[in-house]
Amino acid sequence: MKSASERHFSPGSPEETPLHKMLFLPAAALCCLCSVVTMAAEQLIQDDLTLTRRVGESVSFSCGGTEQCGTYIYWYQKKKNETFRVIFDINKNNGNIDRSYSSHPQLDDFSAITTNKGWELEIKQVKSDHSATYYCSFCLTVRGNYYFIFGSGTKLSVTDEQVVKPVVSVYPAASRAHLEGNSSLLCVASAMFPPLVQFSWKRQKKNGGEPEELPPAEGEQLELRESGRTIAIRMVDRDVFDTYMYRCSVKHEGGTVEAQTQQEVPALPPALYVPSIYEVKLLCLLYTVLIVKSLVYCCGLSLLMILTNKGPSTNCTHAD
């Protein structure tokens, strides 16, 4: 049995609570909710970006990080141009499913399956209208308030088309930031199906050393999606001492693909010292003093030479 609070705040429950209404807001509102509570707990992990199946095949959706959750894991379906729809929740301790509050029209198509990753959402026979993105979530209590933490989602494509790995290339991106101590790198993933990918970066010192994984871009990476390809532009800081070689890789349903080439980001050039206006004025004063002293010295030396060369008269008068 669920606790009173869990029953009251279960998504899709008949009680008209504020949270119940919030769970059926558009996806943008739910994303904002997730952002607000990110600091309160880690997000759930859905490793699969996409899954591709043919009609009649089976599929299951994993959800990691559930050790931080309470007892119940909730699953949602999000179709294009539609809001989130709750499917059911799974008791992660025994796999029991609660469908009592769900009004999903495909409810009987879904079940739960246990794997080494825990309890997962399963569709035993995929239909074309199962194409959607599936999210797991759990309820978090913070200071008496209830929030739902969501995973990143896994997109299911129901099609006969084959999964094709992307072709990955990395290039330097021209930018004025290069002159300001930064450099821009461009990674292109193309010719893949399904089109959804995830970028990551590594760097290694040019003169050797172990490759190191770069942390997530956190606002320093721009992604552009167009027909047939996805482009990531990442800003990197140039190192003061070392030149680094950068390589990008792309996570895809067909596997992770690494760019065959690397891009060099040179170390910063030695900084040029620019004196202040006061230092310039002082330097001009010193030069003026030196010039005046030189003139005085030259004039004095010239006068001394004139006086030395003049001497007494040498004319003699002889008596007859």
Mean pLDDT of 157-172: 94
Contacts of 280 (CB under 8 A, 6+ apart): none
- Banded model confidence at residue 302, pLDDT cuts 50, 70, 90: confident
Distance CA 196, CA 252 (A): 7
Question: In this predicted structure, what is the pLDDT of residue 276?
Answer: 78
CB 13 within 8 A of CB 7: yes
pLDDT value of residue 4: 37
203, containing H or E segment: strand 198-205
The helix/strand/coil state of 189 is strand
| Alpha helices, H only, 92-156 | none
**Residue 18's pLDDT band (boundaries 50, 70, 90)?**
very low
Query: Residue 318, by phi and psi: left (phi above 0), alpha (psi -120 to 50) or beta?
Result: beta
Torsion angles phi and psi, residue 287, rounded to 5 = -65, -40
For residue 299, pLDDT beyond 90: no
- What's the confidence (pLDDT) of residue 180? 60
pLDDT tens digits, 103-112: 999 999 999 9
Buried residues in 155-164 as b, exposed as e (16+ CB within 10 A)? bbbbeeeebe
Q: What is the DSSP letter of 253?
A: T
Per CATH, the architecture of 4-158 is what? Sandwich (2.60)
Looking only at the bridges linking them, the beta strands covering 154-158 and 50-53 are parallel
- pLDDT of 227: 86
CA distance to 54, 105, 313, per residue, from 123 (Å): 12, 14, 129
User: Are 104 and 79 within 8 A, CB to CB?
Assistant: no
Using the Cα atoms of residue 184, residue 188, residue 194 and residue 197 in order, give the sign of their dihedral: negative
- With a cut of 80, say whether residue 125 has pLDDT above it: yes
The boundaries of every CATH 2.60.40.10 domain in the chain are 4-158, 167-265
Q: For residue 118, what are the β-bridge partners? A: 115
- Nearest alpha carbon to residue 53 among 124, 118, 121, 111: 124
Quote the Cα angle for 135-138-141, to 5°. Answer: 145
Which amino acid makes up residue 167? V
pLDDT of residue 141: 80
Region 263-280 average pLDDT: 78
**pLDDT score at 287:** 84
d(CA 67, CA 81): 32
> How sure is the predictor about 274, in pLDDT bands with cuts at 50, 70 and 90?
low
d(CA 250, CA 230): 10
Determine the average pLDDT of the residues in 267-284.
77
The predicted-structure confidence for 211-232, as pLDDT tens digits, reads as follows 999 887 666 788 999 888 999 9
What average pLDDT score do residues 280-303 get? 85
Look up the CATH superfamily of 167-265. Answer: Immunoglobulins (2.60.40.10)
Cα-Cα-Cα-Cα dihedral sign, residues 63, 162, 78, 217: positive
